[in-house]
Structure formats: structure tokens, C-alpha cells
């Protein structure tokens, strides 16, 4: 009887240890997923920016004017964001 209780106790301890390891793995996977989503959003934003630059270039704007417009828009977005605080 004592031996059975000890085996059950050991098994419970082993299962609790496994649950802890799985919880840690789950957190790591969630963190990696979040980082991946941030990278994906950044890549999408970069593609959108390149598309806007290409469109403006096709309209006849010079590279310098296009870059200047992009910088102006980014500064406006930052200024608006700061006013929201």
C-alpha cells in the first residue's frame, strides 16, 4: 500500500512537472507568434510604402519629392499621435 501511494505521488509530481514545462513552452510559442505578427505587419507596411512610392513616381514626381512627401506624412502621423495623448 505504501509503495502504491509512493508511486502515485511520484507520478503526480511528474505530471505537475510536465504541466509546468508545457506552460513554459506555450508562453514561448505565444511570444514567438506575437513577434512574427509584428514582423509581418512591418513587412506589409513596407510593401504599402513601396507601392505608394511607385505610384507617385509613375505620376511623374521625382525621387526626392516622393521621399520628402513620405517624410512629411510620417511627421504628421507622429504629431497627430502625440496630440492624442
| pLDDT, tens digit (0-9, with 9 covering 90-100), for 15-57 | 999 999 999 999 999 999 999 999 999 999 889 888 988 888 8
Q: What is the DSSP letter of 1?
A: -
Residue 53 backbone phi and psi in degrees, to 5 = -60, -45
Closest CA to 41 of 31, 30, 49, 52: 49
CA distances from 10 to 6, 20, 23, 65, 79 (A): 6, 15, 20, 72, 61
Give domain limits for the chain.
Answer: 2-84
CB-CB contact of 52 with 62 (8 Å): no
What count of other Cβ atoms lies within 10 Å of the Cβ of residue 59? 8
Model confidence, pTM: 0.56
Amino acid at each position: 500500500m505504501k509503495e502504491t501511494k509512493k508511486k502515485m505521488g511520484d507520478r503526480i509530481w511528474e505530471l505537475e512537472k510536465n504541466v509546468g514545462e508545457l506552460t513554459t513552452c506555450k508562453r514561448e510559442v505565444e511570444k514567438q507568434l506575437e513577434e512574427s505578427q509584428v514582423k509581418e505587419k512591418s513587412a506589409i507596411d513596407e510593401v504599402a510604402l513601396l507601392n505608394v512610392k511607385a505610384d507617385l513616381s509613375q505620376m511623374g514626381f521625382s525621387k526626392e519629392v516622393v521621399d520628402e512627401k513620405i517624410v512629411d506624412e510620417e511627421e504628421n502621423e507622429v504629431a497627430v499621435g502625440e496630440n492624442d495623448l
